[in-house]
Amino acid sequence: MELLLVLGLPLAGTFVLALIGARRYAAEVNAGVSFVTLVAASALVVRIIRNGPLLVWHDQFFVDPFNVFLVALTAFVGFTTAIFSRPYMRIEERHGRVNARRLRLYHSMYQLFMFAMLLALLTNNMGLLWVAMEAATLSTVLLVSLYRTKASLEAAWKYFILCGVGIALALFGTILLYFAAERTLGQQGMTALLWTHLNSVKGELEPRVLGLAFVFLLVGYGTKVGLAPLHNWLPDAHAEGPAPVSAVLSGLLLNVALYAVIRCKALAVGSIGPAMPSHMLMTFGLLSAVLGAFFLWRQRDIKRLFAYSSIEHMGIITFAFGLGGPVANFAALLHMTVHSLTKSSIFFTAGHASQTAGTQQMDGIRGLVGISPAIGWGLMLGSLAILGMPPFGVFTSEFLILTTAMREHPWTTPVLLIALGVAFAGIFMKVQPMAFGESDAPRLPHSPALVPAFVHLAMVLVLGLYIPPALAHWYRAAARLIG
Amino acid sequence: MLSLHLSQLDVQLLKLLAAAMLLLSFAMLSARRTQQLITLFAWQGAVLFLSTVLVAHEAGLPELYFSAALTLILKVITLPLILHLLIRRLGAQWDNEQLVNIPVTMLAGLVLVIFAFGLAQPISLLATTVTRHIIGIALAVILLSFLMMITRRKAVTQVIGFLAMENGLFFAATSATYGMPMVIELGIALDLLVAVFILGIFFFQIREQFDSLDLHHLESLREE
């Protein structure tokens, strides 16, 4: 029942908003639908915690602690972003960057995007997972090109072509998976692609085929995670879309793509042993972390800066999943949560910062604390949080990842530390003048609506100081499942 | 198992169709005109349709007929029609394309085919389907379409490359496993159709902004 609501509400929202999206109250409807989805997702969480994993509708949908945690996170960030986008998009409309027709497209596609992500998370069918990932790409292509500027069209084109090719490779991987499954499960039709069925026979799947399938799936879904060297679409798409879209792309879509990779990894490990998949994840992860950190330095656009930071952090999370084991998985899940919350909060404030300054170029953004304390401090605190300063939650997860890496693969620790250090210096140097620099711009008459940004930061702070036992228990259960 | 029912003639026919598929991929790689490319794409879809029907008939799998019908409707009729209408509205049907270099592209294509066969070797040995030798060809078609996307600079041709890649994937699915489950194929087909619609809108937006469909203009976003 909850499952039906979680999936049905955003889908219904898509159609409703496609009809009424141009009206004045569409933004409120958008936030309302997201809120009800969040309530349904919370009910689902309660049910999973009480009754354990859930398999419904001819085993087509599967909910366990791992994906229900991501469902809750997705619904929550989806809701806060909808709240944030209400005043933000109104200002954009006043600036003449969007008109009512594009707002209708925006609201409708926003809900479709949420639906596609939730479907990708909840489905038990690896083929349906692929279809949902592709649908998520298609809906966000339209969101990225919302402003119809030359740069945004180019970004959307690049996003579509690169992710289209990536996801085509993932489809080939899925076909190979089906091929291996059919040999073992021996039946035609729907059941051979169900993750739970595959998981129960993973030891018998043909290792050679599964190895090849995993490579294709990792490269395919890895393109969507933004793993280097397949990350080229990510900075453009993040920089050129509206700020709420950057927030959900970075905070949610990357997580969902990584979720797909981890599900595939679990199958591959069962068939070909842990060595090959782990090493591949660790290599891709380290490469992304280092490349992301070094590319940060060369950025002039505020949203591109944080897009590269997302590449760095997704690299760290992928690396942690590659390490495996309960501690590293726990840390990776925690990092997924805090990165998602912090990064979306940063994109909220960065959006307002560039809106007030009238430019996304960092040279043009100065003295935010003087112009509007909420924006300035929000950006500064968000940056400190994402850089892993204690007492924020990012510090906890990075600390856990580093100590596990030190124990399991000592040689990776210096590489990780260099990436973290370089990213720290790069972001801090660029954010500091934006927040505290000299500016002759007048103080804003009233501060912008940044409540969601501060709510996110407060949650990250709480996660850094104290993880509630229920949450910790839940993370541990999910970490055990991933193996 | 099922392979026992297949007559030698049908296997020969399937191999012939697979060869035609590969040949069409090479033809697309070297085609200059956009309209020519769309025609070749439609032919590729037709070959895919015929081979799916043949497999469905011989293996006695009724689901595969649906899959074949889907291919016929979507890839032989609808998509080429949409693309034709699009380029006519854009006035781009006689566009010539400055290719990188046809002989070099062809040689690269040959290398890719050999690579694909090498990669598919272990899989085809395991396959129980009659069509197992075709897996290498399917992979080659995917890689050749990929090459086409890389070497072309026009928006329309890149999209045709993308669609041809999807053809290769369906071909791989039929030859390795007698097709994916129906729901998945429907989902993929839906995604594909939506993708083409979105790209159609995109063409107009790109042309409005840049006065051309040449992707040379789309190169301002790069790392400085």
Query: For A313-336, what is the mean pLDDT?
Result: 92
* Cα of B7 to nearest chain A Cα, Å: 22
Domain assignment of residue B58, yes or no: yes
Q: Which residues contact B81 (CB under 8 A, 6 or more apart)?
A: none
CB-closest option in A128, A175, A190 to B176: A175
Domain assignment of residue B54, yes or no: yes
CB distance A335 to A316 below 8 Å: yes
pLDDT at position A198, please?
A: 83
CB distance A172 to B172 below 8 Å: yes
pLDDT at position A280, please?
A: 92
Q: Which residue of B has its CA nearest to A140?
A: B198
**Residue A61: beta bridge partners?**
A56, A123
pLDDT in tens, A181-190: 877 776 555 6
Whole-complex ipTM: 0.87
pLDDT at position B93, please?
A: 62
Q: Could B198 and A141 be called an inter-chain contact, meaning their C-beta atoms sit closer than 8 Å? A: yes
Q: Which residue of A has its CA nearest to B179?
A: A175
Among B86, B16, B51, smallest CA distance to B173 is for: B51
pLDDT at position A419, please?
A: 93
Q: How many CB atoms lie within 10 A of CB A480?
A: 13
Q: Could A164 and B215 be called an inter-chain contact, meaning their C-beta atoms sit closer than 8 Å? A: no
CB distance A77 to A251 below 8 Å: yes
Q: Which residue of B has its CA nearest to A144?
A: B202
Domain assignment of residue B209, yes or no: yes
Of residues A310 and B171, which shows the higher confidence score? Answer: A310
**Residue numbers in A near B173 (CB within 8 A):** 175, 178
Give percent of chain B with pLDDT exceeding 70.
84
A128 to chain B, any CB pair closer than 8 A? The answer is yes
**Residue numbers in B near A158 (CB within 8 A):** 218, 221
Phi-psi region of A401 (alpha: psi -120 to 50; beta: other; left: phi over 0): alpha
Domain assignment of residue B223, yes or no: no
> Which range, of A19-23, A415-419, A436-440, averages the lowest pLDDT?
A19-23
Kindly give the residue spans of alpha helices, DSSP state H, lying in A250-274.
254-272
Q: Which residue of A has its CA nearest to B157?
A: A161
Query: For A448-452, what is the mean pLDDT?
Result: 83
CA distance A254 to A60: 24
- Judge whether residue A218 has pLDDT over 90: yes
pLDDT at position B221, please?
A: 63
Domain assignment of residue B30, yes or no: yes
CA distance A271 to A253: 28
> Which range, of A304-308, A319-323, B74-78, averages the lowest pLDDT?
B74-78
A155 to chain B, any CB pair closer than 8 A? The answer is yes
Query: For A67-78, what is the mean pLDDT?
Result: 92
Structural tokens at position A65:
């602690």
pLDDT in tens, A274-315: 888 999 999 999 999 999 999 988 888 999 999 999 999 999
Q: Which of A131, A210, A238 would best serve as a mutation to test chain B binding (most B beta carbons within 10 A)?
A: A131
Q: Could A295 and B223 be called an inter-chain contact, meaning their C-beta atoms sit closer than 8 Å? A: yes
- Judge whether residue A147 has pLDDT over 90: no
* Chain A stretch 280-339, residues whose beta carbon is closer than 8 A to a beta carbon of chain B: 295, 298, 300
Of residues A225 and B221, which shows the higher confidence score? Answer: A225
Single-letter residue type at B203: F
Q: Could B215 and A157 be called an inter-chain contact, meaning their C-beta atoms sit closer than 8 Å? A: yes
CB distance A85 to A38 below 8 Å: no
**Residue numbers in B near A192 (CB within 8 A):** 181
Q: Please tell me which of A130-139, A175-184, B63-72 the model is most confident about, judged by mean pLDDT.
A: A130-139
Of residues A358 and A21, which shows the higher confidence score? Answer: A358
Please name the helix (run of DSSP H) or strand (run of DSSP E) that holds residue A55, with its range, or none. strand A54-56
**Residue numbers in A near B190 (CB within 8 A):** 131
Q: Could A236 and B221 be called an inter-chain contact, meaning their C-beta atoms sit closer than 8 Å? A: yes
Domain assignment of residue B126, yes or no: yes
**Residue numbers in B near A18 (CB within 8 A):** none
Domain that holds residue B97: 8-213
Domain assignment of residue B38, yes or no: yes
**Residue numbers in A near B162 (CB within 8 A):** 161, 164-165, 168
**Residue numbers in B near A156 (CB within 8 A):** 202
Q: What are the backbone angles phi and psi of residue A97, rounded to the nearest 5°?
A: -85, -25
Among A310, A309, A329, smallest CA distance to A319 is for: A329
- Judge whether residue A429 has pLDDT over 80: yes
Our CA angle for A465, A471, A477, nearest 5°, is 130
Q: Among all chains, which residue has been given the structure tokens 């879509």?
A: A253
pLDDT at position B224, please?
A: 45
pLDDT at position B6, please?
A: 55
pLDDT at position A450, please?
A: 85
A363 to chain B, any CB pair closer than 8 A? The answer is no
Query: For B36-62, what is the mean pLDDT?
Result: 87
A58 to chain B, any CB pair closer than 8 A? The answer is no
CB-closest option in A156, A165, A190 to B183: A190
What torsion do the CA atoms of B25, B26, B30, B32 make, to the nearest 10 degrees? -30
| Residue A256 banded pLDDT, cuts 50, 70, 90 | very high
**Residue numbers in B near A193 (CB within 8 A):** 180-181, 184
| Residue B216 banded pLDDT, cuts 50, 70, 90 | low
pLDDT in tens, A386-398: 998 888 989 999 9
A131 to chain B, any CB pair closer than 8 A? The answer is yes
Question: What is the residue-averaged pLDDT of chain B?
Answer: 80
Q: Which residue of A has its CA nearest to B139?
A: A172
| Residue A468 banded pLDDT, cuts 50, 70, 90 | confident
Q: Could B149 and A165 be called an inter-chain contact, meaning their C-beta atoms sit closer than 8 Å? A: yes
Phi-psi region of B55 (alpha: psi -120 to 50; beta: other; left: phi over 0): alpha
> Which range, of A242-251, B81-90, B128-137, averages the lowest pLDDT?
B128-137
Q: What are the backbone angles phi and psi of residue A403, rounded to the nearest 5°?
A: -65, -35
pLDDT at position A261, please?
A: 93
Within 13 Å, how many C-alpha atoms sit on residue B221's CB side? 24
CB-closest option in B122, B184, B194 to A127: B184
Q: Which residue of B has its CA nearest to A175?
A: B173
pLDDT at position A306, please?
A: 93
pLDDT at position B1, please?
A: 39
Q: Total domain count for chain B?
A: 1
**Residue numbers in B near A161 (CB within 8 A):** 149, 158, 162
pLDDT at position A325, please?
A: 85
Give percent of chain A with pLDDT exceeding 90.
42
pLDDT at position B2, please?
A: 45
| Residue B96 banded pLDDT, cuts 50, 70, 90 | low
| Residue B132 banded pLDDT, cuts 50, 70, 90 | low
CB-closest option in A168, A179, A193 to B181: A193
CB-closest option in B61, B123, B210 to A209: B123
pLDDT at position A158, please?
A: 87
| Residue B127 banded pLDDT, cuts 50, 70, 90 | low
A168 to chain B, any CB pair closer than 8 A? The answer is yes
CB-closest option in A138, A175, A240 to B172: A175
CB-closest option in A128, A156, A212 to B187: A128
pLDDT in tens, A345-381: 999 999 988 888 888 888 888 888 888 888 899 999 9
Query: For A412-435, what is the mean pLDDT?
Result: 92
- Global confidence as pTM: 0.91
- Judge whether residue B116 has pLDDT over 80: yes
Domain assignment of residue B1, yes or no: no
Of residues A10 and B3, which shows the higher confidence score? Answer: A10
**Residue numbers in A near B166 (CB within 8 A):** 168
CB contacts < 8 A (A, B)? 128
Q: How many CB atoms lie within 10 A of CB B10?
A: 16
CA distance A28 to A45: 25
Single-letter residue type at A402: L
Q: Could B220 and A151 be called an inter-chain contact, meaning their C-beta atoms sit closer than 8 Å? A: yes
Q: Which of B171, B178, B180 would best serve as a mutation to test chain A binding (most A beta carbons within 10 A)?
A: B180
Question: What is the residue-averaged pLDDT of chain A?
Answer: 88
| Residue A403 banded pLDDT, cuts 50, 70, 90 | very high
